[in-house]
Amino acid sequence: MRYRPLGRTGLIVSELGFGASPLGSVFGAFAEQDGIDAVRTALDLGVNFFDVSPYYGDTAAETALGRALRGVDRDSYLLATKVGRYGATEFDFGAERVKRGVTESLARLGTDHVDLIQCHDIEFGSLDLIVEETLPALRELQRAGLVRHVGVTGYPIPALAHVAARTPVDTVLSYCQHTLLDRRLAAWEGHFATLGTGVINASPLSMGALTWRGAPHWHPGSARLRERCAAAADLCERAGGDLAKLALQFSVATTGAATTVVGTRSPDHMRRNVQWLAEPIDPGLLAQVEQCLAPVRDQGWTSGRPANQDPRERS
């Protein structure tokens, strides 16, 4: 496992991070022991960065991750969770709620601090409120020692950049935008580096779309995107390969982000994911898959308030 600095936080993170949303049954039901074994396998293989949120499975993912980490040396891993999103349409970025949210998350995670607290999916809230109220409230918690660093997450990268330019944020988490399907994060990496903001690259498998199983029913991608991903999965299978392997290798090897966070609730997947990083990427198969996905490249989808898609257009 390789490790990289996360912006200016001083945290050194594994290039592969563990995304705990599957521990909230976001991708279907699972046996709790498998989830615990997936976390323990990740730790054994050198993964030190774990990302979760109270939103995943209506707090179930935090509870499961807390159970999995019980008894593990607290200094051996870095824990990131989130505030502000509590349901599919339930958001509250107010100071009182986010402070209470951190206390609740700490109890579920069985710890007295998290290494990173993030405002979850800021594009659904008021960016002014995030800058003027939410982030200052989280900085208070930082001074009190409950959280070590403060960041924001979301889908429209211009919204993340807008907030990071208005007030210092330690990290941004972008998802599904440094993958075989979408490279838009790459254009922003220099900007975040100039601001001193660490970048986290989440969802290298485009939330399951870049696997043989395909996108889950709630995936926001278009029917055309699903169809092209299924064609790419077939193409890989016929070549004796695996679309998930190619997608993970591509995302980790080519991103400038400090860590790439993949979601899993399976110890076997975790083992495979780490193993794949040590293997060379197949350039011939990569070229074929790139061609197959070209018609849907960089198209993505809309997430959150219209005004937050690109706040630069406001001025």
Instruction: State in angstroms the smallest separation of the CB of 299 from ligand NAD.
Output: 17
Which residue has the closest beta carbon to ligand NAD?
263
Stretch that binds ligand NAD, among 89-97, 183-191, 217-225, 260-268 (CB under 6 A): 260-268
Q: Which is nearer to ligand NAD, 63 or 144 (CB)?
A: 63
Half-sphere exposure of 307 (CA within 13 A, CB side): 7
Ramachandran angles phi, psi of 266, nearest 5°? -125, 125
Contact residue for ligand NAD among 13, 15, 16, 27 (CB under 6 A): 27
The site for ligand NAD, by CB under 6 A, has a size of 28
Note whether 203 binds ligand NAD by CB under 6 A: yes
Site string for ligand NAD, 100-139 (x = CB under 6 A): --------------------xx------------------
Report yes or no: 51 and 173 within 8 Å, Cβ to Cβ.
Answer: yes
Q: Angle at the Cα of 72 (from 67 to 76), degrees rounded to 5?
A: 125
Q: Give the residue from 235, 212, 209, 211 showing the smallest Cα distance to 224.
A: 209
Report yes or no: 158 and 310 within 8 Å, Cβ to Cβ.
Answer: yes
* Torsion sign across C-alpha atoms 17, 135, 70, 36: negative
Note whether 205 binds ligand NAD by CB under 6 A: yes
Instruction: State in angstroms the smallest separation of the CB of 73 from ligand NAD.
Output: 22
Contact residue for ligand NAD among 13, 20, 150, 258 (CB under 6 A): 20
Report yes or no: 5 and 258 within 8 Å, Cβ to Cβ.
Answer: yes
Report yes or no: 184 and 251 within 8 Å, Cβ to Cβ.
Answer: no
Torsion of CA 83, 88, 93, 97, to 10 degrees: -70
Residue recorded with tokens 């989830």: 35
Note whether 263 binds ligand NAD by CB under 6 A: yes
- CA distances, 197 to each of 16, 162, 175, 223 (Å): 19, 12, 16, 35
Note whether 19 binds ligand NAD by CB under 6 A: yes
Instruction: State in angstroms the smallest separation of the CB of 18 from ligand NAD.
Output: 8
Torsion of CA 179, 180, 183, 186, to 10 degrees: 60
Stretch that binds ligand NAD, among 34-42, 181-189, 255-263, 281-289 (CB under 6 A): 255-263
Site for ligand NAD in 153-172 (CB under 6 A): 153-154
Concerning whether 56 is annotated as a catalytic residue, the answer is yes
Q: Which is nearer to ligand NAD, 93 or 315 (CB)?
A: 93
Q: Choose, from 56, 77, 155, 175, the residue flagged as catalytic.
A: 56
Q: Which residues bind ligand NAD (CB under 6 A)?
A: 19-22, 27, 51, 120-121, 153-154, 173, 175, 202-208, 211, 244, 261-264, 269, 272-273
- Please list the active-site residues: 56
